[in-house]
């Protein structure tokens, strides 16, 4: 019988901070039938809390600090890419990774890189999505997993889930409600992509 694990897609999770979505992915990948294995957690921030969790979970961790690279984003991304190659990564999951990636890097991982965004794209691209959702008075908010394309928060959508916005919500209460669905949909979306059930269509709605 074939070793199921050997056929799993090898996934790197890129983080900058807390890493709760990374934890959700690591937990999901513990299931015997999960089609992906988290083989690397990569951070641009040496103090990212998620690194400690990943290390304790026995996953390889690497920090590529962006600061010594200063304005040389190409060199920073070459260093990231070298790590991804060294760990024979098939798929990349951005999970609270707070660096914008340049078109060359995005192109190289086209169709093989996912991001999670805490809003119902195409609404509220960029930062402070919960505050902006409250200010806009929307009744529905949520989270989106999408393929990464050069334009920020704009690639084809793999999965979305919505949550209600309540009258007494604060930025924090809304963020917490959205985070719960993030932790549910990111592992589901990665499963769909790793199984080849969802393929990258560059022409899909932005
Ligand atoms: C999440 O809200 C994610 O959607 C956004 O950044 C946050 C990261 O949180 N891109 P965590 O580090 O996964 O806890």
What is the residue extent of each domain of the chain?
A: 4-194
Which CATH code, of 3.40.50.720, 3.40.50.1860, 3.40.50.170, 3.40.50.1370, is assigned to 4-194?
3.40.50.170
User: Considering only CA atoms, which residue is closest to atom 8 of ligand 1?
Assistant: 96
Residues 6+ apart with CB under 8 A from 156: 146, 147, 149, 200, 201, 202, 204, 205, 206
Q: What is the pLDDT of residue 6?
A: 54
How many C-beta atoms lie closer than 10 Å to residue 97's C-beta?
23
> Which residue from 44, 96, 180 has its CB within 8 A of the most atoms of ligand 1, so it is best to mutate?
96
Tokens in use for 188? Answer: 């589901």
CA distance 124 to 138: 11
Return averaged pLDDT per consecutive 10 residues of the chain, 206 residues in all: 68 98 98 98 98 97 97 97 98 97 97 98 98 98 98 96 98 98 98 95 70
> What number does the ligand 1 atom closest to the CA of 179 have?
2
pTM as predicted: 0.95
How confident is the model at residue 1, as a pLDDT? Answer: 43
Predicted local distance difference test score (pLDDT) of residue 37? 98
**CA-to-CA distance for 184 and 171, rounded, in angstroms?**
20
Ligand 1 center to residue 51 CA distance, Å? 14
Question: What is the β-pairing status of strands 157-164 and 113-117?
Answer: unpaired
pLDDT at 70: 95
Rounded CA gap, 115 and 109, in Å?
Answer: 12
How much is the CA Rg of the chain, to the nearest whole Å?
A: 17
Strand partners, 40: 12, 60
């Amino acid at each position: 019988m074939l070793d199921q694990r050997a056929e799993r897609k090898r996934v790197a999770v890129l983080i900058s901070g807390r890493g709760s979505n990374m934890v959700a992915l690591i937990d999901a990948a513990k299931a015997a039938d999960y089609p992906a294995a988290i083989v690397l957690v990569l951070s641009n921030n040496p103090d990212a809390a998620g690194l400690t969790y990943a290390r304790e979970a026995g996953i390889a961790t690497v920090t590529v600090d962006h600061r010594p690279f200063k304005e040389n984003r190409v060199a920073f991304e070459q260093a990231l890419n070298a790590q991804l190659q060294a760990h024979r990564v098939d798929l990349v999951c951005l999970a609270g990774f707070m660096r914008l990636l340049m078109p060359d890097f995005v192109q190289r991982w086209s169709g093989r890189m996912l991001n999670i965004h805490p809003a119902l794209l195409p609404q509220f691209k960029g930062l402070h999505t919960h505050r902006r959702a409250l200010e806009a008075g929307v009744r529905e908010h949520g989270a989106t997993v999408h393929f990464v394309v050069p334009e920020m928060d704009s690639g084809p959508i793999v999965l979305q889930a919505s949550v209600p916005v309540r009258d007494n919500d604060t930025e924090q209460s809304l963020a917490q409600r959205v985070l719960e669905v993030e932790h549910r949909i990111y592992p589901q979306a990665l499963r769909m992509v790793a199984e080849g059930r969802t393929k990258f269509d560059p022409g899909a709605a932005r």
